[in-house]
Amino acid sequence: MRKILRFRYIAPLLIACLWYCAIIIAADEVKDRSVYIISSGDQLLITVVGHEKELTALAVVRPDGMIAYPLVGDVQAAGLTVSQLSRAICEKLSTLGYYRESQVTVQLKEIRQEIVYISGDVNNPGEKRFPKPANIIEVLAAAGWFKETADLANVRILKQQNEVISVDLSIPLEEDFMQNGVVSEELRSEELMLGNGDVIVIPSKVKANRISVIGYVSNPGQYWIKSPINLLEVLILAGGFIDGVADLRHVKIVRADGSIEIADATKAWTESATDPTLLDTVEPGDSVIVPKRGKINILGFVKNQGAFPVDGEISIVEALSLAGIDREANLKKLKIIRSSGERVTVDYSEIWDPQECELEETLSQGDTLIVSKARHIDWGAVSSVVLIVSTIYAMFR
């Protein structure tokens, strides 16, 4: 009977592995930078040959698909190849009369990837990376498929918005994928697609005296425990978190029954000193996921453009402190593009006077802050114009 069960899983597992290999091959095609399609979140290094000093910029593709580049302003980048974007910038420079017949180079510095976490009764749990949102079968294939003891009827998906979705995989897998390798429309629905930061939990039918720790810790893996321990003890077991990368404010605890809780591990350095019972407790059979810190993008007239890791939300003042304020920055009209695509304009010209400044605005992971250039009046030119007009007026009076 055991041999029959093992044989039953060979065909689906081979199909799943081939499917996953196809994803990896598609991701490897990114190495051919000329055919890669730029998308939101990508980081690009753009320069003009021969004018590297004044026209080299690191641009992050915003949620609206645009980038900001010196002289030409906003340029559509998402949906283009690097060569198409190079030509678009070159044409804009020529139209403006600058650097005619110039050679523009665009390099991919960092490509956005969809990081999905899978926990529970699979052969290779942990962080999985995909070039685009993945369906459940693709994530299972990346995790080496589920174990025989997996409880497929009670699968849980935790979306980035902390929405928990219950999924019964036993029927669609049994009827569609396990028999003929076809992924049903149900499993490919928009609701069940897994994107950046999402978690899929495959619970076990058998209670185990161990916990799984995955994500940004020094030694991810499985650890045997006899009784409940607190979150600080879990981090110590796993060799500690990766400093500067781990998001300790949004640690996910996946319970043995498939329920998911969000815990703040930073309490371990404050509340545990006085009352350790205030820390979240992890029990045998649970899984702990330490995610990666999210980033905000700060672009425009700041001293250091780029993507900055943050925990949760930060204020506009904190964001400007991270990037440094350029002397030509226009703080009166700061533009915020939310990860949802929403646009907000705020006035921080009174930044040194908190009572007058709009301090209630904050930036969250995935948001972009754009600092434009201040327009200064050239009083010398104004005086010259006034003098010329006065002279002409006097001559024809």
Q: What is the pLDDT of residue 26?
A: 46
Same domain, 218 and 278: yes
CA–CA separation, 261 and 288 (whole Å) = 10
Task: Report the CATH number at residue 281.
Answer: 3.10.560.10
Same domain, 129 and 202: yes
Q: What is the pLDDT of residue 315?
A: 87
Which residues are CB-neighbours of 278 under 8 A, at least 6 positions away?
A: 267, 271, 272
Same domain, 231 and 288: yes
**Position 340 in a domain:** yes
For the record, the structure tokens of 181 come out as 């390798």
Domain that holds residue 222: 207-292
Q: What is the pLDDT of residue 146?
A: 86
* Neighbour order of strands in the sheet with 210-215: 221-224, 210-215, 287-290, 251-254, 260-263
**Position 150 in a domain:** yes
Helix/strand/coil for 121: coil
CA–CA separation, 32 and 374 (whole Å) = 39
Contact in structure between 273 and 310 (CB atoms under 8 Å): no
Q: What is the pLDDT of residue 282?
A: 92
CA distances to 30, 63, 69, 212, 346 from 369, rounded to whole Å, are: 28, 11, 15, 37, 10
**Position 227 in a domain:** yes
Which residue in the block uniquely carries the two structure tokens 């021969």?
50
Q: What is the pLDDT of residue 325?
A: 87
What are the helix (H) ranges across 43-95?
Answer: 82-95
CA–CA separation, 143 and 32 (whole Å) = 27
Q: What is the pLDDT of residue 165?
A: 86
CA distances to 155, 317, 349, 369 from 353, rounded to whole Å, are: 52, 11, 9, 21
**Position 378 in a domain:** no
- What's 34's DSSP letter? T
Same domain, 45 and 106: yes
Q: What is the pLDDT of residue 3?
A: 44
Q: What is the pLDDT of residue 87?
A: 92
Same domain, 325 and 342: yes
Based on the structure, what is the number of domains in the chain?
Answer: 4
Beta bridge partners of residue 57, listed in sequence order: 46
**Position 394 in a domain:** no
pLDDT in tens, the chain (397 residues): 444 444 455 445 544 554 555 444 444 444 444 478 898 888 899 988 888 777 888 888 887 788 888 778 889 998 899 999 999 999 888 887 767 777 899 998 888 788 898 988 899 988 898 888 888 888 998 999 888 888 888 888 888 766 788 888 887 666 555 555 566 677 777 888 898 888 888 888 887 788 889 888 998 888 999 899 999 899 999 999 988 888 888 898 988 776 778 888 887 666 555 566 667 899 998 889 898 888 888 887 888 877 788 877 888 888 898 888 888 888 888 988 887 678 888 888 876 665 555 557 888 887 888 888 876 555 555 555 556 666 665 666 6
CA–CA separation, 207 and 209 (whole Å) = 7
